[in-house]
């Protein structure tokens, strides 16, 4: 089960970026133990950088998580009311945080806010799954995949889930 706290979800997403799942899980596990009272923007802002680095966070990930905490605390990223914003506004707000781009914001929309009309064309799994479903040899480029989602509005997230599932099944994964 995933943590329902939006700040924790985003911090964890930053930790996992561009790392193998097991390595990221190990680092994140060490980060979590630094916060016996829970991971909050306040506790992250107060945590000495050296302790977070010792837990395994790279300098870039540390800077990103600290920036997220600062921007939540100053109201730039209004996590308490972000669910009321449009998808585009959520992406715009989250993208001002160092280390959060379109992909992370779209995953937040899908998995945390449970939005049903997100079409994450930059996600390789979605592109690879689309190629499998359409029996193509190569995944489409993001710009080519973008219009392919239009017929599925307002449920493009569901199509993305099918794409991810197609990749898992092609690998013999349950």
Helical pair 6-16 and 59-73, crossing angle rounded to 10 deg: 160
SS3 139: coil
Span 46-99, pLDDT tens digits:
999 999 999 999 999 999 999 999 999 999 999 999 999 999 999 999 999 999
- Is the preceding omega at residue 160 within 30 degrees of 0, hence cis? no
Predicted structure pTM score: 0.87
DSSP assigned state of 140:
P
Tell me which of 22 and 95 has the higher pLDDT.
95
Catalytic residues: 123
What is the residue-wise DSSP string for 33-76?
Answer: HT-TT---HHHHHHS-HHHHHHTT--HHHHHHHHHHHHHHHTTS
């Amino acid at each position: 089960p995933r943590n329902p706290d939006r700040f924790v979800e985003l911090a964890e997403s930053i930790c996992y970026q561009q790392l193998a799942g097991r390595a990221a899980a190990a680092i994140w596990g060490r980060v979590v133990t630094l916060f016996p009272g829970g991971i909050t923007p306040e506790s992250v802002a107060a945590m000495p950088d050296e302790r977070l680095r010792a837990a395994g966070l790279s300098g870039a990930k540390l800077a990103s998580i600290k920036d997220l905490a600062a921007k939540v605390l100053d109201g730039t990223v209004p996590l308490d009311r972000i669910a009321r914003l449009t998808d585009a506004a959520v992406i715009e707000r989250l993208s001002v945080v160092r280390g959060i781009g379109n992909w992370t914001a779209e995953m937040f929309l899908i998995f945390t806010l449970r939005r049903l009309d997100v079409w994450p064309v930059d996600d390789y799994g979605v592109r690879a799954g689309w190629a499998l479903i359409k029996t193509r040899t190569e995944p489409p480029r993001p710009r080519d995949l973008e219009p392919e989602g239009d017929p599925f509005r307002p449920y493009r997230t569901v199509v993305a889930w099918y794409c991810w599932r197609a990749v898992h099944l092609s690998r013999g994964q349950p």
